[in-house]
Amino acid sequence: MRLKFIEPLMPTLVENPPEGEGWTHEVKFDGYRSQMIIDEDGTRIYTRNGHDWTAKYRDLVREAKRLGAESAIVDGEIVVLNDKGLSDFAALRKAITRRQHDLYFVALICFILTATICAIWR
């Protein structure tokens, strides 16, 4: 079954996080909000607006095969980290065209629908 893009929930930036239970907080990365879809047709990566950017993220698509998921939807942020471990938007823009190996997909929400889990014992 071909899985379809699901519009992601977008966080609201505030000065201080709300107090009390019932709130979910996430770290703000300086990257591109993206959705990775894995199904019988392969792996696709979409922008937060649903544009197919699979061709721009060749290395991430190749690495996604190592997850072992047969079908999954992963909502996350594509980033490049600087020397201090912080996301760097200017470096991200360069990496997409010139330094694919610098890209990271930070998973925020992951729905693994079916998977074949393999373990190597030594």
The catalytic residues are: 28
Report CA 26 to chain centroid distance, whole Å: 14
The answer to whether the beta carbons of residues 52 and 46 sit under 8 Å apart is: yes
Enumerate the β-bridge partners of residue 109: 75
Local structure of residue 73 (DSSP, 8 states): E
Neighbours of 13 (CB within 10 A): 6
Sign of CA dihedral 17, 83, 88, 101: negative
Which are the contacts of 120, defined by CB distance < 8 A and separation ≥ 6? Answer: none
